[in-house]
C-alpha cells in the first residue's frame, strides 16, 4: 500500500479510477448512498466529488464490498488454489479465510507452505487460519503432527489472521498442555481462535469460551447458537455441501445480534459452487427468507473483516482495498462485475481472459499403501454391533446397536437392512492398518465406493455391500494417488483423480465437476438417495463430531472420546 500516494489522492480529489453513479452499500452505517467511488493504486481513497483518468459508469447499479468467506477449506473444492480463485471470483467472493487443515493433516508444515506459496500473487485476497488440530485427535493416524512449536513458525505472518477451528474441545476443557500452548501462541500474537464445538453446552461451553475461543461454525439449531452468542462467541452460519445450517439458524438473526454473525461455506463441492454460487448464494437465500439485504451483505463483508481484524477489506471506505462488486438487484445480488484492488477481474459470471492466475506448483508425494496387504474381513465376535447411523444433510451421526449378519463365521454387510461395511485404511506408513465397522443410511444395494478425502487425516475410506468391490475401489484410489472410485462386481464404474495430496486436482472446476458428476451417477446406480454420498462418507472418519465415527484405529465414540469395540456383546 502506497500510503503517501493514497493520502495525496484522497486530499487532492484526483484518482486513478472513478466509479460514477453507483448506489453504494455502506456497511458501516447500514445505508445505501448514491455517489461516486474514487480509487488510487488499488485502494479506495474516498466517495464523492473526484476526477479520474479512468471512469466506470455504474449506471445506478449497487456497489458493495467484495464478499468474504469466514471459514472455508479450499481443498474441499477439490481444485488447486488457482482454479478455486477462477471459480469464486465471478461469484463476488474477493477474500477468504481458508483453513489448510486438510492438506496439513496430509503433509504437515509442507502442506501449509504449499498453500501459502500457491496464494501469492492471486487477485483474490487469500488468508489462512493456522490449523490447530493436526491430527484432529490421537484416535487416528495422520500424515503429520503439528504442535505449538511448528505453528510458531507461521503465526507471525501477515497472511495468518487466526488459529483455525479448535476441534479438540475436550482437550481445551480438560486443559491438555499441547492444546493450551497453541491457544496461548495465538493470544501472544493477538489473533482470534476459531472454535468447533458441536452440541457443547453448559459448563463445558463456559470452559471452552473462557479459554479464549472466539467463534463456532458447527451450530445446527438456533438454541445452540444462541447459547454460544450469550457466551461471547461469534457465529459463522454454514451453507456447505454436507452441512446446510441457514434454515435452522435463521430464526436467531435479528437487529440486536447480527453484527456477531457471519457467513461461511466450510466445505463446498464443485457442483454446488458452479450451480448455486458461493457466499452470494447464502446472501440471496437469507434475503429470500426475509433478512434485510443490507444486513445480509454486512454479514458477508464487514462482520468477518472485524472479527479477523482485517483492516483493509470488507467495506467501501477510504483506505480499503478496491474489492468491489456491481449488481442490479439488491434483493438477489448476482455479481455483474467484480473488481479486485481496482482491476476488473470477472464479468457476468466469468473470469476475464486477460487475468493471469499463477499456476500451483506440484505437491510432495502423499500415498504410501500396498492395497494387496489390506484385509476387510471381520471375524464374528458376537451377534450385535455398534452401527454408525447417518443423519441426512448433517455431519453429526447417531449410533445404534443392531443384529449383525454372519456368513461363514465373518460379519458381512446386509444391504437389505441398509447396513453396509465401512473401513478406513491408513495411507502414510505403508502398514495399511484398517479400522472396520458398519454404517446405516448410505443406502447402497450393491457395489462399493472409496475415497482419499476422509476428514481429517484423509486416509482411504470405503463403504459397500461387498468386500471385493471395496478392495477394487480402494485399489483405484491408490493408483490415482488419491481421489474417488465406484466399483461393482469387480469392475470400476467411475473414478476421479485428485493427485495433489490426494485432495485436489489441477484441472478447472468445471472439469472436476464433470468427473464428480460421473462418480455420483455411478454411485446412484448402486442405490441410495443422498445428494452427495462422497461428502457424507468423507465425514464419517472425523472423530470430533458426535456421535459415532470410524478411523484406522476403529470405532470412536465421540462423546466419550474413546475407541469402542465393534461388537456390542463382545
Mean pLDDT of the chain: 95
pLDDT of residue 351 exceeding 70, the answer is yes
Which range is least confidently modeled, 302-316, 361-375, 402-416, 445-459? 361-375
540 vs 538: CA distance, rounded Å: 6
How confident is residue 91, by pLDDT bands cut at 50, 70 and 90?
Answer: very high
Sequence length of the chain is 570
Strands 384-390 and 434-440, by their bridges, are parallel
| DSSP secondary structure code for residue 155 in this structure | H
How confident is residue 520, by pLDDT bands cut at 50, 70 and 90?
Answer: very high
Closest to 232 measured CA to CA, from 206, 197, 264, 254: 206
Peptide bond into 360 cis (omega under 30): no
Percent of the chain clearing pLDDT 70 (strictly above): 100
Are the C-beta atoms of residues 355 and 83 closer than 8 Å to each other? no
Percent of the chain clearing pLDDT 90 (strictly above): 89
Q: What is the 3-state secondary structure (H, E, C) of 191-221?
A: CCEEECCCCCCHHHHHHHHHCCECEECCCCC
Closest to 220 measured CA to CA, from 510, 534, 546, 447: 546
Are the C-beta atoms of residues 470 and 463 closer than 8 Å to each other? yes
pLDDT (tens digit, 9 = 90+) per residue, 238-254? 999 878 999 999 999 99
For residue 11, what pLDDT is reported? 96
pLDDT of residue 209 exceeding 80, the answer is yes
How confident is residue 396, by pLDDT bands cut at 50, 70 and 90?
Answer: confident
pLDDT of residue 393 exceeding 80, the answer is no
Which H or E run includes 153? Answer: helix 148-155
369 vs 426: CA distance, rounded Å: 8
For residue 168, what pLDDT is reported? 87
Are the C-beta atoms of residues 543 and 551 closer than 8 Å to each other? yes
The count of other CB atoms within 10 Å of the CB of residue 285 is 20
Are the C-beta atoms of residues 88 and 122 closer than 8 Å to each other? no
Q: What is the mean pLDDT of residues 331-345?
A: 98
pLDDT (tens digit, 9 = 90+) per residue, 151-194? 999 999 999 999 999 988 989 999 999 999 999 999 999 999 99
143 vs 135: CA distance, rounded Å: 8
pLDDT of residue 265 exceeding 90, the answer is yes
For residue 93, what pLDDT is reported? 98
Helix (H, G, I), strand (E, B) or coil at 250: helix
**Sheet arrangement for strand 215-216:** 215-216, 234-238, 261-264
pLDDT of residue 137 exceeding 90, the answer is no
| DSSP secondary structure code for residue 306 in this structure | H
For residue 86, what pLDDT is reported? 97
The count of other CB atoms within 10 Å of the CB of residue 57 is 11
Are the C-beta atoms of residues 449 and 461 closer than 8 Å to each other? no
217 vs 210: CA distance, rounded Å: 18
How confident is residue 44, by pLDDT bands cut at 50, 70 and 90?
Answer: very high
For residue 570, what pLDDT is reported? 58
pLDDT (tens digit, 9 = 90+) per residue, 536-550? 999 999 998 889 999
What are the structural domains, with CATH classification, of the chain? 66-305 (3.20.20.140), 371-564 (no CATH)
Phi, psi torsion values for 481, nearest 5 degrees:
60, 30
553 vs 570: CA distance, rounded Å: 17
pLDDT of residue 363 exceeding 90, the answer is no
For residue 180, what pLDDT is reported? 98
Angle between helices 222-230 and 202-210 (to 10 degrees): 50
Are the C-beta atoms of residues 134 and 112 closer than 8 Å to each other? no
How confident is residue 136, by pLDDT bands cut at 50, 70 and 90?
Answer: confident
Spatial neighbors of 353 by CB under 8 A, at least 6 apart, are none
Q: What is the 3-state secondary structure (H, E, C) of 458-470?
A: CCEEEEECCHHHH
For residue 362, what pLDDT is reported? 78
374 vs 423: CA distance, rounded Å: 10
How confident is residue 359, by pLDDT bands cut at 50, 70 and 90?
Answer: confident
Q: What is the mean pLDDT of residues 409-430?
A: 96
DSSP string, 487-509: EETTEEEEEEE-TBTTTBBSS-H
Which range is least confidently modeled, 79-83, 366-370, 401-405? 366-370
Strands 62-65 and 14-26, by their bridges, are parallel
Amino acid at each position: 500500500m502506497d500510503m503517501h500516494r493514497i493520502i495525496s489522492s484522497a486530499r487532492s480529489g484526483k484518482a486513478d479510477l472513478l466509479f460514477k453513479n453507483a448506489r453504494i452499500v455502506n456497511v458501516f452505517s447500514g445505508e445505501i448512498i448514491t455517489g461516486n467511488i474514487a480509487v488510487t493504486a488499488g485502494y479506495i481513497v474516498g466517495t464523492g466529488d473526484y476526477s479520474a483518468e479512468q471512469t466506470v459508469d455504474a449506471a445506478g447499479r449497487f456497489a458493495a464490498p467484495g464478499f468474504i468467506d469466514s471459514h472455508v477449506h479450499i481443498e474441499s473444492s477439490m481444485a488447486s488454489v488457482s482454479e478455486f480463485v477462477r471459480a469464486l471470483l465471478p461469484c463476488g467472493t474477493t477474500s477468504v479465510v481458508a483453513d489448510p487443515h486438510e492438506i496439513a493433516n496430509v503433509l504437515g508444515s509442507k502442506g501449509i507452505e504449499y498453500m501459502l506459496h500457491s496464494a501469492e500473487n492471486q487477485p483474490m485476497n487469500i488468508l489462512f487460519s493456522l490449523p490447530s488440530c493436526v491430527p484432529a485427535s490421537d484416535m487416528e493416524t495422520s500424515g503429520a503432527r503439528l504442535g505449538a512449536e511448528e505453528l510458531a513458525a507461521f503465526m507471525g505472518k501477515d497472511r495468518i489472521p487466526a488459529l483455525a477451528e479448535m476441534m479438540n474441545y475436550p482437550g481445551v476443557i480438560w486443559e491438555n498442555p499441547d492444546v493450551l500452548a497453541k491457544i496461548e501462541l495465538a493470544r501472544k500474537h493477538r489473533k482470534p481462535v476459531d472454535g468447533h464445538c458441536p452440541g457443547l453446552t453448559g459448563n463445558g461451553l463456559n470452559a471452552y469460551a473462557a479459554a479464549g475461543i472466539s467463534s463456532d461454525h458447527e451450530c445446527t439449531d438456533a438454541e445452540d447458537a444462541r447459547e454460544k452468542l450469550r457466551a461471547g462467541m461469534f457465529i459463522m452460519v454454514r451453507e456447505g455441501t454436507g452441512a446446510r445450517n441457514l434454515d435452522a439458524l435463521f430464526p436467531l438473526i435479528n437487529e440486536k445480534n447480527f453484527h456477531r454473525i457471519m457467513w461461511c461455506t466450510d466445505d463446498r463441492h464443485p457442483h454446488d459452487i458452479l450451480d448455486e454460487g458461493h457466499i452470494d448464494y447464502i446472501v440471496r437465500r437469507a434475503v429470500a427468507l426475509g433478512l434485510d439485504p443490507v444486513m445480509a451483505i454486512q454479514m458477508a463483508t464487514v462482520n468477518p473483516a472485524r472479527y479477523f481484524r482485517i483492516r483493509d477489506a470488507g467495506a467501501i471506505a477510504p483506505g480499503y482495498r478496491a474489492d468491489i462488486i456491481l449488481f442490479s438487484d439488491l434483493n438477489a445480488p448476482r455479481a455483474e462485475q467484480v473488481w479486485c484492488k481496482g482491476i476488473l477481474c470477472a464479468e457476468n459470471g466469468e473470469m476475464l481472459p486477460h487475468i493471469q492466475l499463477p499456476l500451483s506448483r506440484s505437491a510432495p508425494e502423499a500415498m504410501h499403501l500396498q492395497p494387496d496387504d489390506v484385509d476387510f474381513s471381520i471375524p464374528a465376535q458376537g451377534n450385535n454391533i455398534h452401527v454408525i447411523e447417518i443423519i441426512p444433510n448433517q455431519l453429526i451421526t447417531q449410533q445404534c446397536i443392531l443384529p449383525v449378519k454372519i456368513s461363514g463365521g465373518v460379519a458381512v454387510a446386509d444391504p437389505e437392512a441398509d447396513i453396509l461395511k465401512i473401513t478406513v485404511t491408513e495411507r502414510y506408513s505403508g502398514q495399511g492398518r484398517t479400522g472396520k465397522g458398519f454404517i446405516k443410511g448410505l443406502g447402497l444395494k450393491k457395489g462399493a465406493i472409496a475415497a482419499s478425502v476422509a476428514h481429517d487425516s484423509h486416509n482411504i475410506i470405503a463403504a459397500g455391500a461387498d468386500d471385493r468391490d471395496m478392495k477394487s475401489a480402494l485399489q483405484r484410489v491408490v493408483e490415482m494417488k488419491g481421489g474417488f472410485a465406484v466399483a461393482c462386481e469387480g469392475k470400476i464404474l467411475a473414478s476421479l483423480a485428485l493427485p495433489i495430496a490426494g485432495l485436489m486436482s489441477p484441472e478447472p472446476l468445471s472439469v472436476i465437476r464433470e468427473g464428480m458428476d460421473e462418480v455420483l451417477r455411478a454411485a446412484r446406480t448402486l442405490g441410495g438417495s443422498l445428494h452427495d454420498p462422497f461428502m457424507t462418507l468423507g465425514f464419517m472418519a472425523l472423530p470430533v463430531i458426535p456421535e459415532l465415527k470410524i478411523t484406522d484405529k476403529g470405532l470412536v465414540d465421540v462423546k466419550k472420546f474413546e475407541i469402542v469395540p465393534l461388537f456390542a456383546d463382545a
